[in-house]
Each structure stands twice: as structure tokens, then as C-alpha cells.
Structure 1
Amino acid sequence: MNFRNYSVPYQINENYSKKAAYFSMEFAIHQPLKIYSGGLGFLSGSHLRSAYELRQNMVGIGILWKYGYYDQTRNQDQTLQPAWMEKNTSFLQDTDIKFQILIHDAPVWVKAYYLAPETFNTAPLFLLSTDMPENDYVSQTICHRLYDANVATKIAQFILLGIGGAKLMDEIGFNPDVYHLNEAHGISSAFYLLNKFRSVEKLKEHLVFTTHTPEEAGNEKHDLYLCHKMSYFCGLSIDEVRKLTGTEDDQFNHSLTALRFARKANGVSALHGVVSRDMWGKYPGICDIISITNAQNWKYWADKQLYGFKDSGNDFGFDDRKKYLKKRAFEIIADQTGKIFDPNVLTIVWARRFAGYKRADMLTYDMERFERLLSNIKHPVQIIWAGKPYPFDYPAIGTFNNLVHISKKYKNVAVLIGYELALSKRLKQAADIWLNNPRVPREASGTSGMTAAMNGAVNFSTDDGWIPEFVDHGNNGFVVPKADYDNMHTHEQDEYDLNKTYEILEDQILPLYYDNYDTWRQIMKNGMRDVRFQFDSNRMAHEYYELMYK
């Protein structure tokens, strides 16, 4: 296949004829392609699947990470051991396209690989690599580890995605109408495009930006002089950069620059849109920030048989299928931990990226109540934890390891490793309760509960991210009622959420599951129904064209 004068290789739906290039640091498309860490990747993977289903004129641009994010293995005592294994991706095509970009004032060779649409049913995806013999060793390592801890390497990765991705579009002659940055990692593309379009006004016509981070501290900032030294600004002087981006101190703020260069931006839930407008509104020169709520690809994630039984009103088949899904997932638990879980017991799953504000271990803040919950004979429970902390986030790793040690005392508690797409799907099928308890309002969207609902799990969450748009308490899920969090200290917020979580669990959820299963089943079905259209990524991919690209 010739990649010069490239066009998307399927019939385009005329409603989506505008050419879009979608830049993301990570894509979680399918288990064999391990180039993602968490929610951002799950989102962009679903986005590309929906772009393919809707026949949109879109290509994805990412990086081919040689060692991925990391592989989750265990030490002798079962605690977390990050390992970096080389990944094999023989299903990718070598495009034979090579070109150079400047990093640290030196030319670095970039090679492009291609994921064809029919491989995993996605929009076409181009993946960039510097891991080639023409480069020196340091340049080769740019694409080794996703979110490398070394600051200079990380900036080089941003240059590879942004400048490399924009240059690739010129190399293949795709000429996008819209450059869509999924998070600000690729904003270096704007400096490349400034050389092409010759004005900020012209650049703005082509650039849109999605922000995922609801707190200012979480948005990447790097030393302006270091970025300049690393050729981030495509030949502009520091003074020109300051003038163009409105940077007043010596910190280059990637997200703020994206908001000043983009025609339009969006937050990833209704609540996050409000938080973002509030957070960035004090800065002059930023674009409009709207909301497009994240979603996940129903076709990929949902258990179709469960939906079949739901739609035909076959309760016996529905219950049997859910039990089977639990049983199958519990084989993974038995394999990893030597514990045999019971498919008839209410199973609580907490599984996602480990990060402080997500409070993975919240149920253990009160060990007395935790103990009571686990030893309840009338209303037994099983709890599963899984998820990947960032390999250098030592507090999060400490939380993970502490849960491992706690789990050793109980037959009905398991902590799993290897939380990637395949295990994620299995755990959603295993869950009766999908527990989500971030500190409000720190979760921009938090989409794992969507795919859980697509597999008959009932969401139980604090009222953050997408949850206010979805959960109708006691009807399709359960939610911790919001308190006046703004006027609470962190420990007060934690205490309030903990007490409410236990109250709802003990007084509402457990009695319903064990004493009134018909109502419980109806709550499961309501969740499955409500998530299907509103939170399927086809709706989201359509909204990006309607609200952002046009």
C-alpha cells in the first residue's frame, strides 16, 4: 500500500467528511497493542472504534511504545514489581516512511507504522517510533516508555507526538482540516503548524483541544528554557514564544497554551466543563470550553448475550448469564491468588488506575467496619481490587501493596495484577457493584463505570465526573450524596464519604441484593439500558464532529 497522498481506505459518511487528525499519547484499542496506561487511552481507543463504525474521515496519531507503560508483576511477597518487556506488534504495517525532526538541536529519525482499519475495527492509526539504528541510543529511547519519568525524555516524547505527528500528515499528504489534541501532550504541533500557516489566526481555524485534568496542578508545566533548548518551539526565540503564548514566568504551561491556540476546547463531562471554565477563566485569551461527555464503545465492551436476555425479558437466562460471567472471571482470581470466589455472593470491584485522589483503599479507612463487612454471614461480600499505579508514584504503590497485605488475611478479598483491557472486561463482568469513590470534583470523567454497566454491574460512586449525568439513586445505580465539599478539609470529606458509603452499602445495597433480587435485577437492567446510547462512544464521536470540528 502506498502511503503518499493517503486517504482513509473506506467509504466516508458524508456527515463526517471533514478530515480530522486525532493526536493522543496512548490508545487502548485491543489487548495485543499495549501502548496505553489508563483512562485517556481507553477513551481514545473507543473513539477510534466509533470513528470506524460511523465511517468518519479521521486518522489517529500516537507513539509505538517499545516497552509500553510497564508490565505489572509481583515480588516474592506478592507486592507490586514493575517490569518493562519488549512488545511484539507484528500486525502493524511498516509504512516505509522515514523523516527527521529536530530534538535538542539535533536531527532525529522518525519512522511511521500503520494499524489498518480492518485489524481491530478502528479508524486508521499511525504510530511513530524513533527506535531505529539510524539514531543514537538516547534518541532511540524516546519511544521506549510511555510517560517516562525523565523530564527531558518526556519533553522529547511530546515533540515526537506533536511535531512528528503534524509532519507525518504533510509527508503522507493527508492535510487535515482539523488537528484534534486529546490532552495537551501534542501541543508542540502548534509551533510546527505556525510555520505552515504563518499566523495564529490561521492556526486557530484548524486546532481543537480536549482537556482531561480538573485541577491546575495536574496540568503539565515545564521549564521554558529547557523546552526551548530541546527545539520544542520550532525555531522561535524565547521572546517570540512568550509573546505568542502569553507566558509571563519561566514555566511553559502546555494546557494553557493549547487553550490559547485552539479554536475551541472541551471538558469531558458536564461537571468537568464547569470546573474547567472556572479554573481557566481567569486567564486572558483562552478559547471557549464546552462539554462533550466521555463515552465507551458499546460494540467492543458490552456483553451482547446479557443484553439479549434483558431485551427479551428472559430473567432466568439473564441471571444465568451473569452468574456464568462471574464464575469465568473468578478463575483468574483463583489462578492469581489461590482464592475460590462464589458466584452467588455479592461482589464489589474497585479497579482502575491507582492515584491518591481516587482513594482505592477508602473502605479500609475504618478497619472495624471493614472487618464487619467482610465477616457478615447473613449478607456476605467479596471484594476485588485491581489497577496500575504510575511506576514512580510511590504513595500509590504503597496503597496497592498495603491492600495486598490486607488481602492475605481474608478468603474473600483479592488484589489482582495485569489490569489491562482483557482483565478490565472480565472484572466488569465479575462485578455486582462497580465501586468508584474519587474525591469530588477531582475526577474529570471516570469512564470505567460505563463499561461496567454494559456488563450488568451496578455503579456505586461519589457524585463526580460523568456520574451526575447518569446515576438515578436506587433506580439505575447508587450515589453518595454531595456534601458542601468546598468548605471541608480533605479528612472531613474522606470521613463523610466513608460513612455514607458504608451506610448505603449496609442499609440499601446488601439487603436489596439478598432479600429482593427482582428489584436488584431491575436496577442492573436500568443501568444497562441508560448507559447504552447516552454513553456509547458513537454519540461522543458524532458530537466531536458536530460541536468541535464544524
Structure 2
Amino acid sequence: MAFDLNMYPVNPEFETSAAYFSMEFALDQALKTYSGGLGFLAGSHMRSVYELKQNLVGIAILWTDGYYDQTRDQNQLMQAEFRHKYYSFLQDTGIVFPITIHDADVHVKAYYLAPDTFGTAPMFFLTTDIEENDYLSRTISHHLYDPDTAARVAQSILLGVGGGKLLDIIERKVDVYHLNEGHGLPLAFYLYEKFGRNLEEVQKRLVFTTHTPELAGNEEHPVALLSKMSFFGPVPTEEVVRVAGVENGQLNYTLTALRFSRIANGVSKVHGDVANEMWGHYEGICPITSITNAQNGTYWRDKALHAALEADNDEALLARKKELKQELFKIVADQTGNLFDPEVLTLVWARRFAGYKRADLILRDFERFRVIIENTEKPIQVIWAGKPYPKDFGAIGIFNNIIKTTRQFKNCAVLTGYELGLSAALKKGSDLWLNTPRYPREASGTSGMTAAMNGSVNLSIADGWIPEFIRHGENGFVIPHADMQNEEKVKDDSEAASLLDVLEQEALPTYYQEPKKFLQIVKTAMREVEPAFGSNRMAAEYYEKLYKVK
């Protein structure tokens, strides 16, 4: 074979052999196999696997068109473009094998990413875009999160069955199979068949991470459709219904994964509680614990900024932060024509665009926003960035409306192309990192971790990881929750007002009138975000809590 899985000596502490299945991985700006937070998280996890020398391989799909390229039309509004990507750094393993999709053979080719390429776990990338397949089969691995239901089901089969079969072909001993979200669920049925249709044998080996309470992350389809698509392999439909506890003819990926796994986890303490509330009343599910998501400091943190922090050199830290702001503002000027000032407090909202994340919450009381944005005594600059799902027309509408609403202000900017490179520039070049989800729908929200690593202070709703980290006014700012009993519009109004209160009455005055205090908040957050929210802690915790068979 053209690859070597023994690329580094395994740390005996992490000798359990694991395989990590995820629909997306953000490993490097050049490798377009991710859409947003799930991929960023998986990428940091794989980097920590490498740093800790854990005995784990990653299983991924090689997306021919990536997610999409976020560009602008002639009116500067967002448009999605799809272009084929090619990667010379992926090694052709020479392995091609068939899997069954819709009762037909679909050929899968495996590529290998060596650990030293980007400093990650050894990774396998699967594609159906090869000449052995007809055109329709080739398109299965074209678009990450294809909007067509049948295509998306086929992608799950590719990840789960294709990944499971590849590991058998290369004779990789696997003690633990880890489903990162439910997308790869067909793996459970592949293992069920492999181990003599003995559910207990599957449960000994399968663990599961649920990442969101959102419907899109807890996919559900009719059993009849899944059976027709060969989702269950050779397992008879009536046996699937019995073993998976299917009711009303619908199979929920998350619930089924919880029934086939030995243990599962939510991705923050809050989300662990939410996941237990959502699923805990169903019969036959495994225990759900929590392992808070984290990000890899080696990859994300600015070295010069941290050197100044460790030397307790405030002058050097402030000078470096100014340089990082100037680098970000070159991107702002290039994309929008607006020239930003590095002396001015800069607030950023940047993450995957989705309605519940409320990118426009700060604009809800627009006249009050206008007063703040036009204040010359305590000036502020605001930047938005993020990729909506290309068929989420509501989120695209929010994105474009922010452009239309704020283009009148020379100190506002909406950027396109939110991938690893731009994400890093925004975190390093901002002073405040805004996070405004509807509680409790942000399961983790790891972007604020990498912002804190780079001297950007979190200004956030207390959701996801935030309650585990922020002490208001000491290492960040918390936006108070509205009364949970109120209807959504009332809660949005209340939290929009609270956001502007904290910004206007605390964050801005501290930055301009008490710069030493603001700097202390910055430094405290930088010091405290790691190691607690560094992914080495998270990767070690997965071995301790999920991978070790008691």
C-alpha cells in the first residue's frame, strides 16, 4: 500500500485504537472539506490527536466541490459558486471497493492524508467521483450537505459503510468507532451485520457525539426510503424497526445512534443537560454525558501575542494586537472599500449563518444602533462574516439584509469567504467577539474560544460553553437572558436591548475610559481559556470518558 499508518509512536496512555467518523473536517485552509463549527471542532480534535500521539484515525469524505465558494454579485450581495477542487498532497492509496447504495454497486476510492502534512491524525478521505461510477454515483461526493434528500442519504452511507469497510480492507484493528454527529449512522448497521446481528457487540464498540438540538443536526427519514436506499445494508427492514425501536415509520439518526452506542456525549455542560432532556425519556438509549468542545491553541493562537502575554509585556501585547487589527483591516478595505482605524474598538460577529444564531440581533433596535455606530466620542467598528447553508434562503436573506442596512456606515463591513483563514484574521483582529444565539440552541459555540486565545473579549449570551468560562467584567461580558417563558419576539427584543446596554454602558466605556481594565480582561481571558478549552484536554477526555472500555 502507498501509505503507512505507523507515522508516529503511539502514547501508551492512548493506545486504544479508535476511528473517528465526521462528515466534515477543517484541517487546513487549502482543504475544502468543511462548512462551519462542526468541521472546525473536528479539525482541532485531529490536531490534538497528533500532538498527544493518540491511536486514532479520521474517516472523512473528499468533497469535489467543497461546501461552496462564498462570493458577491454585482450588487455586493452574496452568491454561492461551486468549483471542483484538487489536492496533490492527498496520497492515492490504490484502494477502490464497492458499497451498496440503492441496491447497486457504487465504487469508492480512498485517499490518505499523512499526519505530518498538516499535523493531524492520519486521515482517510473517501470519494465516489471516479471513472468506475456512472455520473449520478459520481455526484454523491460532490457537495457537502447536498440539498437533495436521496443524495444526502447516499452520503451517509458513503461515510458510514464506506469508512467501516475501508478499515476492514486495510485490516485496521479498531476498538472504538466514534460517530461525530449522526451523519455516519449506516456504520451502526454495518457493524451490526459484521458482528452477527448482535446489538450488544455493536454497543461495546460504538460511541456517539451529538452536537446540536437543532432539527438539521438530528436528521429523520422514513424507514421505507432508507431501506430503498440500502441504508441498512443486508439487515431486514423489520429487524431494523425492532432493534432501533422505530415508531411511526420514521427513523431518527440521533435516537438510533443513542440506541446502538455504549455511551454518548453532548458538547458542553448546558448541552449535556439539553440532550438528556431531549432524548433521556426514550427507552433503550445509552447514557449521555458531556465533554465540552474545545479548540487547538497551537493552530489558532498568535505566537507573538502569546509571547507578549507570557513575558507580561503590555506594551508588546498592545503593539501586536494593533498589527493584527491592521492586517484584518486590509481584508476589510479590499472587500468593501472601507478603511478601519486600529485605535477604534472593533466588534465582530462571525460564524455559520443560521436564523437561531441571530446575526442581526444588534440591529434589532436600529435607531439605537445608529446612535452607537455614529458616536464619535466612543467610536466602534462592526464586522459580520459567515456562510449560510446555500439553500437556507432565510439565512441568506439575513446576510444580504445586513449588507443593505449597514452599507451607509463607513465603520460597518460584511465580509465573504468565512473559512479558516478569514476566521483566524477576524479573531486576531477584533476586540470584542459577539455571540447572540437563542438559548439553549447553541450547543457549544467554539469560535469564542479561539477569539479569547487571541485577545478578543467575548460578549455573549450565556449559552453553550460560555457559562463554564465567563465571569462578567473579569474575562468577558455576558448578555442577560430574557424570561424563557416569553414568546420569541419578546425575548429577541429584550436580549437585543440587553446587548446594547452591555455594549454601551460597559464594554465601550471600559475600552476608552479604563484601558488598563480592558487590557486586564483581555489578558485574563487569554490565560484562562487554555488549557480548559484547549482541544488537548478534550481529546484526552474522549479517551477517558468514551473510549476506555470498563
TM class, shorter-length: over 0.9
Structure 1 position 84, deviation (Å):
0.2
CA offset at residue 484 of structure 1?
Answer: 3.1
Give the equivalent residue in structure 2 for 1:15.
13
Aligned-partner residue type, residue 472 of structure 1 = R
In 2, Cα distance between equivalents of 1:29 and 1:324 = 26
Do the aligned partners of 2:431 and 2:457 also contact (CA within 8 Å) in 1?
A: yes
The match for 1:300 is 299
The partner residue of 1:30 within 4, 8, 28 is: 28
Matches within 5 A, 1:487-506: 487-506=485-504
Residue of structure 2 equivalent to 1:412: 411
**Percent of residue pairs bearing the same amino acid type:** 58
Residue 155 (str. 1) matches residue 153 (str. 2):
yes
Q: What's 2:280 paired with?
A: 281
Distance 1:39 1:223 in 2: 28
1:128 aligns with one of 119, 126, 129: 126
Unmatched 5+ stretches in structure 2 = none
Please state whether the residue corresponding to 2:531 is helix, strand or coil.
helix
**Structure 2 residue corresponding to 1:119, chosen from 117, 120, 137:** 117
In the TM superposition, 1:180-329 aligns within 5 A as 180-198=178-196, 199-215=198-214, 218-329=217-328
- Structure 1 residue 85: Cα displacement: 0.9
- 8 Å Cα contact 2:296-2:536 kept in structure 1: yes
- Paired AA for residue 64 in structure 1: L
Partner of 1:73: 71
The DSSP-based 3-state class of the residue aligned with 2:284 is coil
1:93 paired residue number: 91
1:464 and 2:463 matched: yes
Mapped partners of 2:374, 2:5: distance in 1: 60
CA–CA separation in structure 2 for the residues paired with 1:139 and 1:175: 29
- Is 1:343 matched with 2:304? no
CA-to-aligned-CA distance 1:402-460 (integer Å, 9 cap, x gap): 01112320100000000000000000011100000000000000100000011100000
SS in 2 for 1:534: coil
CA deviations over 1:95-139 (Å, ceiling 9, x no partner): 000100000000010000011000000010000000011100000
**1:449 equivalenced with 2:448 (yes/no):** yes
The residue that corresponds to 2:103 in the other structure is: 105
- In the other structure, the counterpart of 1:48 is 46
Amino acid at match of 1:302: R
Q: Distance in 2 between matches of 1:227 and 1:175?
A: 29
Instruction: Spell out, residue by residue over 1:15-44, the C-alpha distance to the aligned partner (whole angstroms, 9 max, x if none).
Output: 000000000000001100011000000000
In the TM superposition, residue 496 of structure 1 has moved relative to its aligned partner by 1.4
**Aligned residue in 2 for 1:542:** 540
Q: Is the Cα–Cα contact under 8 Å of residues 193 and 235 in structure 2 kept in the other structure?
A: no
Inter-partner Cα distance in structure 1 for 2:249 and 2:291: 32
Once residues 498 and 81 of structure 1 are traced to their aligned partners in structure 2, the CA distance between those partners, rounded to angstroms, is 28
Conservation of the 8 A alpha-carbon contact between 1:8 and 1:59? no
CA distance in 1, matches of 2:473, 2:479: 11
Is 1:61 equivalent to 2:69 in the alignment?
no
User: 1:434 — aligned with what?
Assistant: 433
Amino acid at match of 2:426: L
Structure 2 CA distance, aligned partners of 1:160 and 1:188?
9
Aligned residue identity for 1:147 = Y
TM-score by length of 1: 0.98
Quote the Cα distance in structure 2 between the aligned partners of 1:443 and 1:97: 39
- The alpha carbon displacement at 1:381 in A equals 0.3
Describe the superposition over 1:370-400 as per-residue Cα deviations: whole angstroms up to 9, x where unpaired.
Answer: 1101100110000000000000000000000
The CA distance in 2 between the partners of 1:182 and 1:217, in whole Å, is 14
Instruction: Work out the CA distance in 1 between the residues paired with 2:144 and 2:482.
Output: 37
Cα distance, 1:88 vs. partner? Answer: 1.8
1:282 deviation in Å? 1.5
SS state of the match for residue 533, structure 1? coil
SS at match of 1:9: coil
Q: Deviation of residue 218 (structure 1)?
A: 4.5
Counterpart Cα distance in 1 of 2:170 and 2:78: 43
> Structure 2: which amino acid aligns with 1:73?
T
Q: Provide the rounded CA distance (Å) in 2 between the counterparts of 1:129 and 1:323.
A: 44
SS of the residue corresponding to residue 530 of structure 2 reads helix
- Listed one character per residue, the Cα deviations across residues 487-536 of structure 1 (whole Å, up to 9, x for unaligned) are 11101111111111111111111110001100000000000011111000
- Is the CA contact 1:326–1:429 (under 8 Å) kept in the aligned structure 2? yes
Residue matched to 1:366: 365
Give the superposition deviation at 1:481: 2.3
Where does structure 1 lack aligned partners over 5 or more consecutive residues? none
Aligned to 1:145: 143
> How far is 1:539 from its partner?
0.1
Residue 10 to residue 211, structure 1, CA distance change in 2 (3 Å): same
**Aligned-pair distance for 1:482?**
2.9
CA offsets 1:451-470 (integer angstroms, 9 cap, x no match): 00111000000010000000
